[in-house]
A and B are shown apart, each in its own frame.
Chain A
Amino acid sequence: MRQVQTAVLERDTTFVSDFATEPYEVAWAGEARWFVHTLAASGDDTEVRLVTQISPDGLTWCDLDGHEHVVTGPGLVTWPVGQFGQWLRLRGTVAGQSPSTTMRIYLTVKS
């Protein structure tokens, strides 16, 4: 049976500026998937751009690929991640007039 684990990296957290999630170790896993559940958003033209980041040591980070996942309002957004090495996190860029967004961020990893 394959191992699988879901971590809630942000739990109904309200972001008003750029952020990065806490480092999460996934060395044992062969595949991963982000689920970003936006619970609420306010402000004008609020837009969050999410990018997967990887790290060899949990300290220094770079983008995994060139993909930006754009969130503009409530709902669930998901994408798969592969070939990631040891650590995963998300960085988010928050744009708009007085932007505010409340998110629950799940990382599901599988051996």
Chain B
Amino acid sequence: MQGAYLENDTIAALATPIGVGALAIIRISGHNSVPILSSFLKFSNGSSLETVPAQKAALAYFQVEKTILDQVMVTFFRAPHSYTGENLIELTCHGSLAALREILNVLSKNGARLAEPGEFTQRAFLNNKMDLTQAEAVADLIHSQTELSQRLALAHLQGSFSKEISKIRNKLLELLAQIEVGLDHSDDPTAGVLFSLQEIKIILEEESKKIKRLADSFKFGRLLREGVHISIVGKPNVGKSSLLNCLLKSERSIVTHIPGTTRDTIEEGFDLFGMAALLVDTAGIRQGVVDPVEQIGIERTLKSLEKSDAVIVVCDGSEKFSLEDKKIWELVKNKEKVILAINKNDLETKINKEEINNFFPKLSFIFISSLKNQGIENLMQELASQLLPKGEIKEEICSGMAVSSLRQKNALCQAHENLNRASALCRESSMEECLAMELKGALDALGMIVGEVVTEDLLKEIFSKFCIGK
């Protein structure tokens, strides 16, 4: 953490505010920005990052192996002619949070670190890209941002999240003290009882599991912060758009009876019992589409489905199920959270429970009428019960235990990796110094979250627990 302000490593961050917008910009700066990015960018004109003209936008796919995450505009500012004075690349992406998150994830897994607040500006300053008045503004910026983040961090630290981290940290510290006594004071077997490698391994694995669980809670922390993504899908003209309007209590989507009216996906934010949610109305899916515009709409629907945290499948209860409904089932059956909304409850219902179970096995279903605004509340409840965290996890979130920033998650993953390597080392008894290095690495990573120093704590632990010295 100490190094955060003067490292010359590569940093990446979202340069536009978090939230739903048409476009968002991810910035990557540092001497490794080109090698990190080049394997993921496939330029439409076949060129590569090394050869694209500087400061000119170029179209590319951001793809990991065969999977396209987004189509982006790439602008390369070559050092020193960039904001930071380093090789800086701006990716103008589509504003989908899921895709942005995924891209940042990919970058951070491949050697780019998430930037600290004000870090781009700071680099600009250090590389002489700014004058003095600007520099003072930078100091103010760092100061205020840090104050804010300190306040946030403080709030966080009082929660049980930090208590849990501290518990794990103390356990690891105790373990490291054990190992250090074996290394630094090995000539005194009467100093105290040392754990065996087998015992160390067991503790390491336990703590590693706890860290993993915390890292996994990132998903829920993220849901809280960034909101959930809910797609509404169904064959044409079953009333998807009118359901969206019902949920939004406004006339956002143009509702007609002509199938295929919604040709593009429409996104709207709404409040699901206190959780931010993004509702996506999609183009109806049907077979035999010839209109190329509608075809594009359908492809977008499929993409939206991929990113969704939950899906509402809408079908027309006044008609018998068709093969098209079956096709939609095929699309959503692998999603974790799917709700079947059987619309047009105001008309005569032509499908029964047996048919529903037949077509959409194991799905929870709700009869609604978006026209008469019936069953909408039930649908909201069902969404909430599936999406809002429950039980233990809910408590963790309410008590602030969930990991809410990607930086915290990365620190936890780092610690997790260190512990896994450490536990693998427990097989060889002459590798304790390496074991100690891994444990120290894990402690440093956890220290980045709770901000504590290791060496002094460690010596304190050693001298309080072991009778050392002659």
Do A and B come together as binding partners? no
